[in-house]
Structure 1
Amino acid sequence: MIRSTFPAVLIPLLFTLACAEAEGQPPRHWAVDDGRVSLGQSTPARFELAEVTTGEPLPAPKVTGRVQAVELLTSPSYPPLAGRVEATRVRIGDQVAEGDPLVQVRTTDLPALEGELASARLQVQTKAATVEKLERMVEAKLTAEHDLIIARAELDEARLSARTARAQLRSLSVARSGDSSFWILAQRSGTVVQLDATLGQQVGPSQALPVATIADLDEVLVIADVPQREAARLQVGAQAWVTTPGSIHAPVAGEVELVSALVDPDRQTVPVRVRVANNERALRPNAYVDVAFTAVDQDPVVRVPAGAVVRDGPQTIVFVDVGTRSFEIRKVEVGRRSKNEVEVIRGLASGENIVTTNALLLLNAVDLDA
């Protein structure tokens, strides 16, 4: 941004220029013509020059990320039968082992399923007795063999119904509690990261959210919101460093797992997935963190001193030395910035000489001439 007060060395220059213009005379100390600023021999200001060189890209600025559990290390628990929550044994953040009871549900469906199994087993016994009886009668030629064939088919059907009812009960993966209640069990060891079960709440297998979710937090994902220009420089496998604002923990190393091909419609940034080892539990799901990326095999870029780059409205300008105390006004496109340096993406070539001090004075001369 251009400062509203000029440096002291510029005051005599502007005073001389103003007097010269008032008298209808050309400026004594500089002239602006055809995109160049030419300085007279009596100009009191001094301008240092430096040769443009290339180097490693500047470090990427930190971006904000959100910690999430890894999907493949997460197990949601849904109630297999409809009912109402009767009790809970866990809270968010609790550590559980596989098979631990989480939420107790009272239901009328469980007795019904057990009744179906008992009925199917009774049918099997009845059909088996009928088949045994018909086998003796056929042997004694007291009935047709066709009746025996039908009875055997009915027995097979009853056995299939019993197996289906028994498999349905086993698939519930719950622990029976009384005549009409069951406990939903943890499907893996880990941390409770989500819980949607309040006393009296109606739950069922078709609900949107699980009653509880268990996650292994030895690894986590960090979803970083990366500006589109910076995302173009990232590749899968790049290293990332994750820090929690205000934390005393050292930065945690991670690796870029995915650079999204889409832009987040709300944030207008590119989501970048970073997988991070979290054995020390320094990162917690749902926390906001800072993420810094390390470049991978990037080409050298032009880097110039920060004092060489000035802003003129929406344009970014540097002044290129063209000899005989003249400087070309060069529009450039810049990239990353640090306290002392700026990347120039377009507009400068290695080997050119540019003004690195008092560039703002030259810009003020251009504006005043205009």
Structure 2
Amino acid sequence: MRLKPQYMFVIALVGALAIYFLVRSVFGGHPSTAEAKPTAAAKAANELPSVQVVAVPEAVRESQVVLRGRTESARTVVVRSETAGVVAQAPAREGSFVRAGTVLCRLSVDARQATLDQARAQLRSRQLQRQAAQELAQKGYRSQTQVLEAQAALDLAQAGVRQAEIALNQVNIRAPFSGVFDKRDAEIGTYLAPGQPCGTMIELNPLLVVGDVPETEAARLRVGSPATARLVDGRMLSGQVRYVAQDADPQTRTYHIEVAVQNPSMQVRSGLSAEVRVGAGAGPAHLVPISALVLDTAGRQGVRYLVGDRVAFAPVTIQEETPQGVWVSGLAGPVRVITVGQSYVADGQKVRVASAR
């Protein structure tokens, strides 16, 4: 029986394909080991966690300690009476600026002027007696002892005059320094005993900006360090640290700090809230995205970065937050900080760096 031509063509095609696959399986059908290895390596690389990083250079920056504070008068003194008497005049206006020596309250003079006049008359009498004794002693009519007694009486009279002058001057209760007469405690007609208050004086130039720093920051502060304060209304004050406490508050474990600033116009009042920034010296710092900050298993705040292709963690201290990122200390040299995926990798883990989208 003779096959049709179309059947013969199909049989020939099938035979050719069979011979092709047989030859390929014998001479080159299995991939070589060299070809298989890259495929496995690529597969393993694709299974590594993917992160994105940013290169952050090291910069030298003036570090600062930031704290909340308030303005405070440099001195606050309750001015008190040194003698007894009724307030006869109150020349200083409450809330006004007064210079040192200005009379705040004036007591009635009473008999103090008469006492002074009597003491001065006694002094003139003693002066004459001493002069007469000296002249008579020169003529031999007085002994040297009598001259010394006259001199002693003269000295006593001079002390009496001084005492009467002080008593008379004490009716004027004066400002001990230049400042604001902030509060009046005694009005005209008020009887003041020794030690009772006339009013309160406050000194606003220089002005103090005070606050409390945590024990972790106190060691960085020094007397004389530059400082700035931003008030609630936006005004800026500049000054220097004048005091840092050496003993912590037992309740808050913080240290009190005082910054002295100039306030010549005395427009800045006492008691205003302020943000205080105190210079703590220059040092290395890095500007990292705020989103890169993470917590490790011990609860420390820091950043994760790459050493080669493995993850490392470094605890950092925040120096300042800016619109561009956060200035931190605790890193060394240029660092490749992980910015995406840092919360899903662990220290020492090998990762794959993906390009940023």
TM tier relative to shorter chain: 0.5 to 0.7
TM-score, length-scaled by structure 1: 0.63
| Distance change in 2, residues 1:184/1:223 (3 Å) | same
1:282 lines up with 2:267 in the alignment: yes
Match of 2:194 in 1: 204
Please state if 1:47 is matched with 2:38. no
| Cα RMSD after superposing both structures | 4.2
2-structure distance, mates of 1:218, 1:287: 15
What is the correspondence of 1:56-205 to structure 2 with a 5 Å cutoff?
A: 56-57=60-61, 60=64, 62-71=66-75, 77-83=79-85, 85=87, 88-106=90-108, 111=111, 115=115, 118=118, 121-122=121-122, 125=125, 128-129=128-129, 132=132, 145-146=142-143, 149-171=144-166, 174=169, 182-193=171-182, 195-197=184-186, 200=190, 202-205=192-195
Q: Contact (CA 8 Å) 1:260, 1:271: kept in 2 or not? A: yes
Q: Give the Cα separation in 2 of the matches to 1:244 and 1:173.
A: 46
Pair 1:308–1:99, CA change in 2 (3 A): closer
Matched, 1:238 2:225: yes
Percent of residue pairs bearing the same amino acid type: 21
Corresponding residue for residue 283 of structure 2:
299
Contact 1:121–1:162, Cα closer than 8 Å, also in 2: no
Contiguous gaps of at least 5 residues in structure 1: 1-38, 176-181
- Contact 1:60 1:230 (8 Å CA) reproduced: no
Please tell me whether the aligned partners of residues 127 and 151 of structure 1 are also in contact (alpha carbons under 8 angstroms): no
CA-CA distance at 1:360 after TM superposition: 1.6
Contact 1:87 1:105 in 2 (8 A): yes
Q: Distance in 1 between matches of 2:134 and 2:161?
A: 28
Alignment partner of 1:220 out of 202, 207, 217: 207
Partners of 1:288 and 1:162 in 2: CA distance = 58
Structure 2, unpaired ranges of 5+: 1-42, 350-357
Q: Which residue of 1 aligns with 2:26?
A: none
How does the TM-score come out when normalised to structure 2? 0.65
Q: Which residue of 2 aligns with 1:19?
A: none
SS at match of 1:103: strand
Contact kept, 8 Å, 1:77 with 1:213, in 2: the verdict is yes
Structure 2 letter corresponding to 1:48:
Q
Report the alpha carbon displacement of residue 54 of structure 1 after superposing the two structures with TM: 1.8
**Aligned residue pairs, count:** 302
> What CA deviation, in whole Å up to 9, does each residue of 1:255-286 have, x standing for no partner?
33344434344553333332212123332234
